[in-house]
Amino acid sequence: MNSYYVAINKYKALWVALFLLTAGLPSQVAATELTFLNWQDYMDPKILVEFEERTGIKVAQRYFDSDTARDELLLETEGKGFDVALINGASIRILAKRGWLEPISETDIPNLKHIDPRWRTEHEKAEDYGVPYFWGTVGIIYRKDLVPFTVSSWMDLLRPSEALHGKISMIGDSSDMIGAALKALGYSLNSTDPGELEEAEALLQSQAPAVKTYRYLSLNEDSALLTGQVAMSMMYNGDTLMLQEYNDNIAFVLPKEGGNIWTDYLSVLSASTKKAAAKKFIDFLNEPEIAARLAQYVYYATPNLAAEELLPAEFKSDPIIYPSKEALERSETYRRLPPRAQKNRSAIFSRIVY
């Protein structure tokens, strides 16, 4: 009996010694966890699980519901508290200038070699501080059973019929809202002309009483578009296909005046203490097979050329995901605006939304 207890005590002593040793070395024992600032429903959870199984690195997501909200959150935190962030093309230069984004290269992220050069250079500083994630357009989504006509113009949304008052939704982002109003009036969405911006504000102000919400609609079965609380809304093109899974009456149109061609980028935050893991995560997402699966999950056009070759023909021929050449020619990409023009737009947005 005595020898048995001696053996047990030796085992306990070894266990305690091992515990104390590993407790002093948390970086070697604790799993790395990345914080990813992202749109909701813009990542396949199974892909995150696969990344963790392969690397031991867990990815926790935090969400924003507009580019403006994301920028405000980063401003509040001075870019701290996040490792990877989803950044729209127009914001990359601004955030990089603040020193919040980490430079990237093919040395850090070898799978950058698969990315179409067009999307890498589409926005100022994007090539240095971001990896293209997806690209698409902004248009109008609507319920065919609740809207008694075929939607074709931004004016259908911005000057809605009386029956649609209280059932209109807008994207609460200054660029998207003002850009849509400018396109509806026949102007460039990058206009800096005070008179044209004044007309755009007047159009948005006249629409405001009909607007139910300026928050981006959810994409699950509780979405206001599915419950019928909203009949027509601004929306990013691919999100339409998520909602069509629940209701066949949902339709999308890129208005005849054209819209915005956007590009989203994955960026590493310069304040991150896990930059190597963050870059490994972005590189993983750009493995062709992973990028192709992700495109089919979110229903957006991938900038990854090797992944595009793996996509089904029906996916690549879907006009919602890949608009026609003519539709894209009528559309524009947001460009850098002078500080005074940007300040004017922010003031217009505040007067409408707040």
Positive or negative: CA dihedral 45, 48, 53, 54: positive
Q: How far is CA 294 from CA 129, 285, 299, in A?
A: 22, 8, 8
Q: Which domains does the chain have, with CATH numbers?
A: 27-135+262-322 (3.40.190.10), 138-260+331-353 (3.40.190.10)
Tell me which residue has tokens 């460039």: 188
pTM above 0.95, yes or no: no
What's the full length of the chain, in residues?
Answer: 354
The label of the residue with tokens 């793996």 reads 310
Q: What is the pLDDT along the chain (354 residues), one digit of tens a residue?
A: 444 333 444 444 444 343 334 344 343 334 799 999 999 999 999 999 999 999 999 999 999 988 888 999 999 998 899 999 999 998 999 999 999 999 999 999 999 999 999 999 999 999 999 999 999 999 999 999 999 999 999 999 999 999 999 999 999 999 999 999 999 999 999 999 999 999 999 999 999 999 999 999 999 999 999 999 999 999 999 999 999 999 999 999 999 999 999 999 999 999 999 999 999 999 999 999 999 999 999 999 999 999 999 999 999 999 999 999 999 999 999 998 998 999 999 999 999 998
Distance CA 133, CA 299 (A): 12
**59 CB-side CA count, 13 A:** 29
- Return the structure tokens found at 53: 């199984």
Amino acid (one-letter) located at 123:
H
Where helices occur in 252-338 by DSSP H, the ranges are 275-285, 288-298, 305-308, 313-316, 325-329
Look at strands 232-236 and 168-169 and give their pairing.
Answer: parallel
